[in-house]
Amino acid sequence: MKLTPPIEDAYLEYAEQAKPQGTQSAATAPTGSTGSPAPQPKPGEFKYIGKYTPRVDGRKIVTGAARYTHDLTFEGMLYAKILRSPHASAELVSIDLTEALALPGVKAGLKLKEGRIKWVGEPVAAVAAVSERRAEEALALIKVEYNILPHVVAPDKAMEPGAPQVPDQGGNVIKSNDYTRGDAEKGFKEADVVLERTYKTSWEVHQPTETHGSVAMWDGDDLTVWDSTQAVQSVRDGLARALAIPAGRVKVLKEYMGGGFGSKLGVGDYTVTAARLAKEAGRPVKITLTRRENSYCVGYRPSAWMTVKVGARKDGTLTALTLKNTNCGGVGRGDRVAEPYSDMYKCPNVKIEENAVYVNACGSRATRAPGHTQAMLGLEGMMEELAAKLGMDPLELRMKNFAAKDKGDTGIAYSTKGLEQCYRLGAEKIGWSRRNKKPGAGGGKVRTGIGMASQIWPGAGTPGTLADVKLYPDGSVEVECGTQDIGTGTRTHMALVVAETLGLEPQDVVVHLGNSDLPWAPISGGSLTVPSVAPAVRDAALKAAEYLKTLASKKLGLPPADIVLENRRAASHADPTKAIELKELARGIPRPLPFHGERGDYPATFAFQTFGVQFAEVEVDTETGKVRVKKVVAVHDIGRVINRQTAESQVLGGVTQGMSAALFEEKVMDAQTGAMVNPNYHDYKVATSMDIPEIVPLFADIVDERLNNLGTKGLGEPPRIPASAVIANAVYNALGVHVREIPMTPARVLAALKRKEDRP
Ligand code: MOS
């Protein structure tokens, strides 16, 4: 696609503004005595790390040149469609593909199911044909006989005695978690104030811009699959297992993708189907889910119904905290929400009981910060309500109670300095003193409020992550890692870490990722990518730098320790006029040289949480029940920021997703048919640009290099974690009554306003 000039101009202008600031030239570099070791760059001295680097592939993405799975076509490629069950509960009696396969242009067909159907949308059969249209026509010719059975899709109904039972779970309600520390009953007796509240979250669909999809192509026994995935390595392994072929015969590729948010972490049934149809037809097969299928067949965030009880002394010291959570993830187990309840605050007496309820709906999937996001609506909602009850500043209540434990056995401090800094910085930036000192005190038809919510999340990355940096005899440099860029800017962070280490510019570095044959890296999920990949790349680049310095020292007749790599040159630290261009230096390389890097081990994961807090300002119309978010300040401690530009983007995205879930998003099920009633972008409401407030992303910038060689932590999940709770808390501050159920639709806001019993 050709780019139109306005877009290009806008992009170039943006890139110009975003150029790294405060770079240091060789001429102004500090001098030292010859032979003294070149100093390791301190955070402030990095040229790229921690600064603003525009995406190396930004132009490709905004001009449409970037290739997505949906864009692919191959000679002779077929299009596959899946026939899905219209029934939520049924015994599958028979499937007859005869007529479908007889339709001209239909090249392959498969039965995908036998036995019990448990949800609307379960795959039953599939066909591959010369066009999507022909495949759809073929689906209509498949004869399926069902013996329809009773179903249940509402969790409260599923818990009633005599409810239709979802098979294979051992009952509709199963205990999923149990945690105790101290003695909660004793703790409540010691409390001056005890408060109990119930908070609810709904089913939130991932809604990636690019729906799920794959293209499968065989060459003899070897399978290549292009997949819109967050994990090329996992899809490779999943395909090998499903097809019972060696993993070494499967290659999974993904160049670009339009989001996943946890719904694309492993191999999909549609991917396996594409591979099987391709084998049968002897031609490449493409399968892309429709928006409708994407809405009801590939998961969602499970709901949580959390009854939280807290006890505190007059001074705000927590004495007891209990949680009874009922979560529902369809035929899946859903999420446990316990972690923030047990770890965020240093309450000595905690008791948590969680149950999973099963209903006849597609299983939930990991959704950006599984469990934590739901948890914060209850935990942080309760902190605001408790503060009001105590007549205390909610910020002070949190500062008094946030956890600061030591992991004793490992000797690593659970460093919460970052959280404290986030609290102080965020409060200052939002103007915390402007809030209603007493929730709802403002009065009037349209009321404003300011609230806060905190976040923890393990952000250490995955040991064993590998990356290679390769030097070529033409002087070019390549970095390779079997990770993937899920839209977060992984190519750019890999390029800038290499550029930083070898004295190059990010655009000098050729980046290869999104290929399961490349050195191993984990899923791009769980906030793992940056803290796994960046240290591995840094390790490989440091080894390449050592090699180049040794080479340069020979050419320049200087000790290796005197050589610095900067401005595309190897130069003497003592006398910068003695230098050699890296391109010229590379001519001494006999052949392409790979340097293997690895993200080292770490002693304990728990010691390296990410921390954060968000503050929001909202306006609520008490006549219409409509909430408008005016401003969100988000402060997160993620250790060393690698690329401030893409890090800020992550925060903007997380905050937007959270406010969207807080106000609009809900997968609605029909009790009669067991089907989702809003499986499209029209009826399933997602925040638009008109709804998005001013968002201020800030970072604590506290670096602990015991974590990894860059002291960097993940950011995928953190900004999403408090982002719904903070809106609910700001609404509480405006109204003096907590809505306690998201999405806070106008109807729910108006209903909450009628409640009288719990006003402070
Ligand atoms: Mo995330 S829910 O681990 O993609």
pLDDT greater at residue 758 or residue 521: 521
pLDDT of 417 higher than 90: no
Report residue 2's pLDDT band, with 50, 70 and 90 as the boundaries: very low
Angle formed by the axes of helices 644-663 and 725-735, nearest 10°: 60
Domain shared by 442 and 513, yes or no: no
- Domain count within the chain: 3
How far, in Å, CA of 232 to CA of 234, rounded?
Answer: 6
What pLDDT, on a 0 to 100 scale, did the predictor assign at position 603?
54
Of the candidate ranges 185-189, 209-213, 457-461, the one whose mean pLDDT is the lowest: 457-461
| Ligand 1 atom, smallest distance to 262 CA | 4
Smallest CA-to-CA distance from 655 within 375, 455, 490 is with 455
Domain end call among 537, 568, 598: 598
Domain shared by 351 and 499, yes or no: no
Using most ligand atoms within 8 A of CB, pick from 235, 335, 368 the residue to mutate for ligand 1: 368
Q: How far is CA 198 from CA 72, 326, 394, in A?
A: 48, 11, 19
Quick check: helix, strand or coil at residue 347? coil
Domain shared by 511 and 564, yes or no: yes
Q: What is the pLDDT of residues 569-595, one digit of tens each?
A: 999 999 999 999 999 998 878 899 999
Domain end call among 242, 259, 288: 288
User: What type of residue is 287?
Assistant: I
Domain shared by 429 and 532, yes or no: no
Smallest CA-to-CA distance from 525 within 677, 729, 368, 696 is with 368
The strand pair at 303-312 and 318-328 is best described as antiparallel
Of the candidate ranges 246-250, 253-257, 320-324, 756-760, the one whose mean pLDDT is the lowest: 756-760
pLDDT of 259 higher than 50: yes
- Protein residues whose CB sits closer than 6 Å to any atom of ligand 1: 230, 261-262, 265, 366-368, 370, 525-526
Q: What is the pLDDT of residues 603-616, one digit of tens each?
A: 554 457 899 999 99
> How much distance in Å is there from the Cα of 645 to the middle of ligand 1?
21
The strand pair at 350-357 and 318-328 is best described as parallel
Q: Domain range for residue 351?
A: 303-460+605-754
> How much distance in Å is there from the Cα of 262 to the middle of ligand 1?
4
Write down the mean pLDDT value for the chain.
91
> How much distance in Å is there from the Cα of 267 to the middle of ligand 1?
14
How far, in Å, CA of 57 to CA of 492, rounded?
Answer: 8
How far, in Å, CA of 717 to CA of 725, rounded?
Answer: 14
What pLDDT, on a 0 to 100 scale, did the predictor assign at position 45?
83
What pLDDT, on a 0 to 100 scale, did the predictor assign at position 759?
65
Domain shared by 373 and 348, yes or no: yes
Using most ligand atoms within 8 A of CB, pick from 205, 228, 264, 265 the residue to mutate for ligand 1: 265
> How much distance in Å is there from the Cα of 299 to the middle of ligand 1?
12
- Per DSSP, the residues of 49-93 read TTB----TTHHHHHHT-SPBGGG---TT-EEEEEEE-S-SSEEEE
Report residue 33's pLDDT band, with 50, 70 and 90 as the boundaries: very low
> How much distance in Å is there from the Cα of 567 to the middle of ligand 1?
38
Report residue 333's pLDDT band, with 50, 70 and 90 as the boundaries: confident
Domain shared by 530 and 639, yes or no: no
Domain shared by 142 and 245, yes or no: yes
User: What type of residue is 525?
Assistant: G
- Per DSSP, the residues of 402-445 read B---B-GGG--B---HHHHHHHHHHHHHHTGGGS-SSTTTT-SS
Domain end call among 598, 619, 650: 598
Q: What's the whole-number mean pLDDT along residues 344-367?
A: 96
Q: What is the pLDDT of residues 509-539, one digit of tens each?
A: 999 999 999 999 999 999 999 999 999 999 9
* Residue 294 lies inside a defined structural domain of this protein: no
Domain shared by 490 and 371, yes or no: no
* Residue 2 lies inside a defined structural domain of this protein: no
pLDDT of 623 higher than 90: yes
Report residue 22's pLDDT band, with 50, 70 and 90 as the boundaries: very low
Q: What's the whole-number mean pLDDT along residues 201-205?
A: 98
> How much distance in Å is there from the Cα of 220 to the middle of ligand 1?
35
> How much distance in Å is there from the Cα of 364 to the middle of ligand 1?
12
Quick check: helix, strand or coil at residue 579? strand
pLDDT of 431 higher than 50: yes
Of the candidate ranges 108-117, 593-602, 671-680, the one whose mean pLDDT is the lowest: 593-602
> How much distance in Å is there from the Cα of 228 to the middle of ligand 1?
14
> How much distance in Å is there from the Cα of 135 to the middle of ligand 1?
32
| Ligand 1 atom, smallest distance to 264 CA | 4
| Ligand 1 atom, smallest distance to 367 CA | 2
pLDDT of 171 higher than 70: yes
Domain with residue 80: its CATH number is: 3.30.365.10
| Ligand 1 atom, smallest distance to 368 CA | 2
Using most ligand atoms within 8 A of CB, pick from 486, 717, 721 the residue to mutate for ligand 1: 717
What pLDDT, on a 0 to 100 scale, did the predictor assign at position 460?
84
Burial 619-650 (b: 16+ CB within 10 A, else e): bbebeebbbebebbbbbbbbbbbbbbbbbbbb
Domain shared by 569 and 610, yes or no: no
CB 446 within 8 A of CB 622: yes
Residue 684 is classified by DSSP as: S
User: What type of residue is 322?
Assistant: T
> How many CB atoms lie under 10 A from the CB of residue 36?
12
* Residue 99 lies inside a defined structural domain of this protein: yes
Report residue 459's pLDDT band, with 50, 70 and 90 as the boundaries: confident
Q: Whose CA is nearest to atom 4 of ligand 1?
A: 262
* Residue 233 lies inside a defined structural domain of this protein: yes
How far, in Å, CA of 10 to CA of 32, rounded?
Answer: 44
Work out the percent of the chain whose per-residue pLDDT is above 70.
91
Domain shared by 499 and 519, yes or no: yes
Smallest CA-to-CA distance from 613 within 646, 637, 631, 629 is with 637
Domain shared by 243 and 308, yes or no: no
* Residue 171 lies inside a defined structural domain of this protein: no
pLDDT of 277 higher than 80: yes
| Ligand 1 atom, smallest distance to 526 CA | 3
What pLDDT, on a 0 to 100 scale, did the predictor assign at position 20?
34
* Residue 401 lies inside a defined structural domain of this protein: yes
Domain shared by 97 and 229, yes or no: yes
Q: What is the pLDDT of residues 83-123, one digit of tens each?
A: 999 999 999 999 999 999 999 999 999 999 999 999 999 99
